Amino acid sequence: MSKTFHTVLIVGGGLIGSSLARACMENNVVKRLIITDKDADVRSRLNALNIGHEVAESAQSVAAQADLIILAVPPGAMTQAFSDFADVIKPDCLISDVGSIKGKIIKDITPLLPKGVEFIGAHPIAGTENSGPEAGFASLFTDRWCVLTPADENSISAQKLKSFWEKMGSQIVFMDAQRHDLVLATTSHLPHLIAYALVGTATDMETVTRNEVVKYSAGGFRDFTRIAASDPVMWRDVFLGNRDAVLEVLGRYIEDLTALKKSIRWGEGDVLLKEFTKARSIRDRIVDAGQESATPNFGRDMQNDSSDTPDNKDG
């Protein structure tokens, strides 16, 4: 297989970073794969797992060698992570990321780019609620969407990055950054917010029900709230970084939820049946699209977009 990039540096060794490194190695995509993490313990674990050709002490020490550098850190840490090595990268180096927000990251990093260096946002819509280098696996991106947000999708760099992710097994779509953030606010960010809130509600209810809420939680509650186990640091950054889109979608959701509340209060069974039937039909379409699961053979379901970048400890 021809190599789109000679040397790739992955900054961040958590779930996504370590999975990407594994995928690069397994698919023989690059000539040299370097991975690093600011946490010494994570670097030690990456070494023990034999992930990549080299586990570097710092991004700055190796960034000058790379043709492609991928930031696999939380959205709130990306600007600082890039700043740490921006002064040593090659003029023709391509910078990218794996974050689930795009607008703020592009806005923050673009002014820091040296002359001749381009940033193209990327978001592989894949992940699990687990974190850390041990949680990664090479097939995480297989048959999953990867959204790219270049200024010009026909540019050489955009096409090279497209080819790179296709070799990871991903299905590529180009999208405007603002549209990406609104779409993901709907399909990923809001569900996480609801899951976090529901767990909080259940915790409050424990004081009323003498621990019966958690003790007798059925499968539906466990499955729905599973994504609340996702990394708190990363999701804090997502909600703050994609504030406008999240608030817009959240407002619409509250309106819909209020309408359902009214139907329940007034016994409007026909309205409830109509809404539930419509929702079931949409859910069936989601399953048919084939993007609902990224389960490796671990004997448990995994969230398809619960964690796009790990926290600072994990990457």
Neighbours of 125 (CB within 10 A): 22
Calculate ∠ Cα 305-306-307, nearest 5°.
Answer: 100
Residue among 103, 121, 107 nearest 165 (CA): 121
Mean local confidence (pLDDT), 150-164: 96
Q: In this predicted model, what pLDDT tens digit does every residue of 288-302 receive, in sequence order?
A: 776 544 433 322 222
Distance separating alpha carbons of residues 156 and 121, to the nearest angstrom: 15
Q: In this predicted model, what pLDDT tens digit does every residue of 161-185 receive, in sequence order?
A: 999 999 999 999 999 999 999 999 9
Per-residue pLDDT at 204 exceeds 90: no
Mean local confidence (pLDDT), 231-239: 89
Residue 259 has a pLDDT of 95
Q: Higher model confidence: residue 311 or residue 73?
A: 73
User: In this structure, what are the phi and psi dihedrals at residue 105, rounded to the nearest 5 degrees?
Assistant: -65, -45
Gyration radius of the chain's alpha carbons? 21
Residue 299 has a pLDDT of 27
Mean local confidence (pLDDT), 267-281: 93
The β-bridge partners of 174 are 148
Lowest mean pLDDT segment, chosen from 149-158, 213-222, 248-257? 213-222
Distance separating alpha carbons of residues 186 and 253, to the nearest angstrom: 9
Give me the count of residues in the chain: 315
Residue 302 has a pLDDT of 29
Mean local confidence (pLDDT), 82-99: 96
Per-residue pLDDT at 311 exceeds 60: no
Q: In this predicted model, what pLDDT tens digit does every residue of 52-81 receive, in sequence order?
A: 999 999 999 999 999 999 999 999 999 999
pLDDT band of 124, cuts 50, 70, 90: very high
| Phi-psi category of residue 34: left, alpha or beta, with phi > 0 → left and psi -120 to 50 → alpha | beta
Q: How many distinct structural domains can be found in the chain?
A: 1
Residue among 37, 42, 30, 40 nearest 135 (CA): 42
pTM flag (> 0.85) = no
**Which residues form the domain of 259?**
1-292+301-315
Distance separating alpha carbons of residues 67 and 33, to the nearest angstrom: 11
The residue assigned the tokens 């939680």 is 217
Lowest mean pLDDT segment, chosen from 32-41, 151-160, 282-291? 282-291
Residue 306 belongs to a domain with what CATH number?
3.40.50.720
Residue 75 has a pLDDT of 92
Per-residue pLDDT at 154 exceeds 60: yes
Residue among 3, 5, 2, 84 nearest 37 (CA): 84
Residue 33 has a pLDDT of 97
User: In this structure, what are the phi and psi dihedrals at residue 54, rounded to the nearest 5 degrees?
Assistant: -155, 140
pLDDT band of 24, cuts 50, 70, 90: very high
For 100-168, give the secondary structure using H, E and C.
CCCHHHHHHHHHHCCCCCEEEEEEECCCCCCCCHHHCCHHHHCCCEEEEECCCCCCHHHHHHHHHHHHC
Burial class for 285, CB neighbours closer than 10 Å (0-12, 13-18, 19+): exposed
pLDDT band of 198, cuts 50, 70, 90: confident
